[in-house]
A = this chain, B = another copy of it.
């Protein structure tokens, strides 16, 4: 059954307490793709007037999780098995957009990538890949 962005967001907010600290919005999720916006707030800052690495890592993890759930549904157990991040340039203190898509969807695993952009700048500030284990 198709999982709406609203249902996914509600589940994350209820079951993953750290997500309640962050002002994020799942803007789209379907067919192995997802877009998640992380609105800038003081919690995301680090010295140099930029956004901290962990802020981008949480955004990437959430966006890829949404992409996986868009394929397998909410009732199925999934767990991140690996995440690889490349921080490509400093992200100014504005909203971030994370776009995730699955590259491989197997029966017991999934693999995908996430591109994070900042504000209106089309050049990514971070690129990540990740893999998930899937249980029935």
- A-side residues, CB < 8 A to B, are 15-18, 21, 42-48, 52-55, 57-58, 61, 77, 79-90, 103-104, 106, 111, 113, 115, 123-124, 127, 129, 131
Number of chain copies forming the complex: 4
Contact status B15-A44, CB under 8 Å? no
23 sample A-B contacts, Cβ–Cβ < 8 Å, listed by A number = A15-B46, A17-B42, A17-B43, A18-B44, A18-B54, A18-B55, A21-B43, A48-B77, A53-B80, A54-B54, A54-B57, A54-B58, A54-B61, A57-B61, A81-B86, A82-B84, A84-B85, A86-B104, A86-B111, A89-B104, A89-B106, A103-B124, A103-B127
Which residue of B81, B89, B104 contacts A123 across the interface (Cβ within 8 Å)? B104
